[in-house]
Amino acid sequence: MKNLIGWGSLVVSILFSTVVYAESATIAVASNFTKTIEVIGQAFEKETGHQIRFSFGPTGKLYAQIKNGAPFDAFFGADERRPKKTIEDGLGVKQSYFVYAQGQIVLYSAKYPVDSQPIEVLRSADFKHLSIANPKTAPYGERAVAFLKKKGLYEHVKSRIVNGESIAHAFQYVATHNAPIGFVAMSQVVDPKSPVYQKGAYWVVPASDYAPINQGALVLKRGENNVAVQAFMNFMKTQKAITIMNRYGYKVD
């Protein structure tokens, strides 16, 4: 019996020693990056034993939550503006800031040949609705509008635009066929688990036609001394993470 207790306490102390090194963290992530960071997170947990919980939402909403004391250790935004704003607010750690990826916009349609004649489709197809993310709140939507303006197509399609609250929502409109065509994130059409994967056609809007969507991330004051957060931020810069990001349609410099 005594022996058993001895062995038992040894097992417990071994278990504990690993628990001490593995920490957990909660990270706020912009909706467009949902799928990608989940995959990166799994690779990270497997490699380090740390545990990361992700909280997804539109960047503006996450920012409002952080400003009002939400328990996040790091913040991955859909743009540079909101993550940088947390530094001004005294909530973000300035030195930790970096651009983790560049998002790419695609024009997707299940109905029109956007891959071969994107501009012609936008100019003359008879679609009733064109789905984009709300340009006022979502950088992907804002760039889509900028692209349309640059090509002189905005006034032409303006009255047919429907706004999704986030890029995820804009995608739902096209995936459920309520809008036959829309500007979405590349990550949403190249993901093998996507409902539109290999259905319909998409066209990658050339990077020269819109300002790059730099997506910024940083550690928040709350996670400053969290080992798991530090490890995760470093992991994001490894080749392993970059390969995953590329696979999901993000560019990394």
Point out which residues bind another protein (CB under 8 A): 58, 60-61, 63-64, 85, 128-129, 131, 134, 136-137, 161-165, 169, 172-173, 176-179
Taking the least distance from each CB to another protein, the nearer of 45 and 80 is 80
Q: How far apart are CA 76 and CA 84, in angstroms?
A: 11
Taking the least distance from each CB to another protein, the nearer of 41 and 141 is 141
Please report how close the Cβ of residue 79 comes to another protein at its closest, in angstroms: 12
Please report how close the Cβ of residue 163 comes to another protein at its closest, in angstroms: 4
Please report how close the Cβ of residue 50 comes to another protein at its closest, in angstroms: 31
Determine the residue type at 190: V
Please report how close the Cβ of residue 211 comes to another protein at its closest, in angstroms: 18
Q: At what angle do helices 239-247 and 34-48 cross, to 10 degrees?
A: 150
Listed residue (19, 74, 27, 24) closest to 50, CA to CA: 24
Please report how close the Cβ of residue 129 comes to another protein at its closest, in angstroms: 6
Taking the least distance from each CB to another protein, the nearer of 31 and 104 is 31
Taking the least distance from each CB to another protein, the nearer of 48 and 166 is 166
The strand pairing partners of 153, in sequence order, are none
The one-character DSSP state at 112 is S
Taking the least distance from each CB to another protein, the nearer of 67 and 123 is 67
Q: At what angle do helices 34-48 and 227-235 cross, to 10 degrees?
A: 120
End-to-end CA distance of the chain: 61
Residue 164, CA distances (Å) to 138, 158, 160, 182 in order? 9, 15, 13, 10
Listed residue (132, 214, 217, 119) closest to 166, CA to CA: 132
Please report how close the Cβ of residue 130 comes to another protein at its closest, in angstroms: 10
Q: How far apart are CA 175 and CA 134, in angstroms?
A: 17
Q: How far apart are CA 82 and CA 96, in angstroms?
A: 15
**Are the C-beta atoms of 165 and 93 separated by less than 8 Å?**
no
Please report how close the Cβ of residue 177 comes to another protein at its closest, in angstroms: 5
Taking the least distance from each CB to another protein, the nearer of 164 and 223 is 164
Taking the least distance from each CB to another protein, the nearer of 111 and 240 is 111
The encoded tokens of residue 54 equal 């992700």
